[in-house]
Structure 1
Amino acid sequence: MEEFQKGRGAQINISNRFLENSHEDRDDFLNYCAAEGDEPHDTRTSIIETFPKTIVNKVTSPDVGMNFSLNPYQGCEHGCIYCYARNSHEYWGFSAGKDFEQKILVKRNAVALLEKKLSSKSWKAEPIVVSGNTDCYQPVEKKLEITRNLLKTFLKYRHPVGMITKNSLVLRDLDILKELAADNLVHINISITSLQEHTRRILEPRTASIPKRLKTVETLSNNGIPVSVMMAPIIPSINNHEIMPLVKEIAERGALGVGYTIVRLNGAIGEIFTDWVRKALPERADKVLHQIEQIHGGSLNDSRFGVRMKGEGEFADQVKQQFKIARKLYLGDRSSKPLNCELHEQYKTGQMKLF
């Protein structure tokens, strides 16, 4: 078996199910590259510009907790091995494996499209979640600032926005977030899957460190910005033992709530994750995979709405009970208010209507 490659999540590029042809690396080619001291593939990140026709997507799945989402980037350099968004990369002609974290599509006209949407006479304000699919604060955002300009647009039109990220880069935009929070127009979810750095490094190799993410929760809270945490996904024999200490830690940092999902390996992710766990955690691989199957009725995935995110069986019930106890013990009656949808109509033209 090949050695585990550090610094990336997926260890392989698997065939795209939508393409008629596929390719594989022959041993003679790999041996030649090794003899010549060459890499068989370019491992650098490629940035590919795109110009979609729309940017706000209607979410039809009834169990994801949002009605509209916006994603300025497709693909994600963070490289989280379990990411459900990997499958969407196949629609662009790429692999859900290494391609997902090395070929990043940038929606260059995202800000203009959002402004067009928010200024439309037919649009009625409803929270739009940025990063429902891929992280809006992945590394390329530091240079391009598309997410920052999206936030400026939400502020200009006084429109409610939710955000999901696992990158401390969100603190760069603290100035805009504070203005949005003053009118109850923003809520942020920080994704924290583990308190252990060694776990984070193999699960989510290019994300912000755990100390940085915890500090991000604390800083947002201290600045009056509603922030919750998503412990997603829970993976048997990898991070399920951390539920209680993690909820205690985020409560002390000012989080208003915590949510979770249980891992499900839908589509191409099953093969990608299986290959990864056998290389990253060979001594635990069989146990992890068998426990995931037990959660999903003998399969690595269950696509049924209402069940797919939480699983079934003894393990799923234990996780559910642990979160129930942790919330009661550490978060008490904390909660966040529904976002303000009342201001937007007055700002449809980009400035407040006087009459």
Structure 2
Amino acid sequence: MKIYPVIMCGGSGTRLWPVSTSRHPKQFVPLLSEESLFQQTIRRMLPADDAPEFAPPTIVSNARYLDLIEAQLANIGVSPLAILLEPCARNTGAVAAVAAEFIDKIDPDGLVILLPSDHFIGQPAAFRKAVTGATAVAAAGHIVTFGVSPDRPETGFGYIKAGKRIADDTHTVDAFREKPNRETAMSYLEDGAYTWNAGIFLFPARLMREELKQHAPDLLETATEALRLADITGVVHRIDEATFSTARSISFDYAVMEHTQAAAVVGPLSCAWNDVGTWPAVGHLQASSGPVPPVLIDAENCTVHSDDGVLVAALGVEDLVIAVRDGSVLVMSQSRAQDVKLVIDALKARGLTDRY
């Protein structure tokens, strides 16, 4: 049974400003290596000896990123099955509907693996092994999500509580929990039944259409019509703007996963996963980066990222993020990592549109 990777890469990643901006968001930035997170995601889903039968990737993104997508795919020598361009952002519920409708038309018996393009997985072989093991469960009529083994009481992630055992490392989903406070996150860690929600889903395209019909019929109807009216040039499908713009903006978790009876969770995975959503997350993977190593003297727990040959020196400070990109500098406490949007709001208020 063939698996169709559908890569979501339309987000703007503002919490990693100034390196990530709306014009060049984090998934297309070489944050942790010479390749971008998008390129690393594509590579994980290519055919390999230790992988299932993967089809060429289908990319779902905002129309503004077409040039970036085409250039980065060409750079690693990958030809996509399709590039589906959204005319506006409508959250992951609409993306799931587009993915299910598009793949169902190509291969009614195919499985879809829907995954973000901005995550880091340090052990791709372990991840592919988990996908291989989950194919039979998905084919049997489940929407499989992948839970990641938590190693700290993280308040920035959603959690999944496992229910009854279905197969080895696979359970029904008892509950999805949104980002908790620290005390609640500690209780999840101690409980042992909770995993981090990686936001990666494996499902039969036909099953997803049926679940959408039941729980979010408006999303499926809008996606179907918007794809039918798409402007197609080669592998590029420009989804109809007049139709797609009417779609409800709702996450896939809220639209389907919190209501379906078909959910299953595989895990906990141990594949060195990180959603790279904040600067401390970048620091967790790589203490500092850039062409010029920073000078750190008596600097504790600091994340430094610079480019363009900028030398950063930090002396006698702790718990700071220092990020430099194209003449913009961010200095903040690690504890305020979730609040970078306040900077973006301030820039918008001052009319500095070229800065974000």
Report the TM-score range of the alignment, normalised by the length of the smaller protein: under 0.3
Q: TM-score if structure 2 supplies the norm length? A: 0.27
TM-score (norm 1): 0.27
Q: Larger % of helix: which?
A: 1
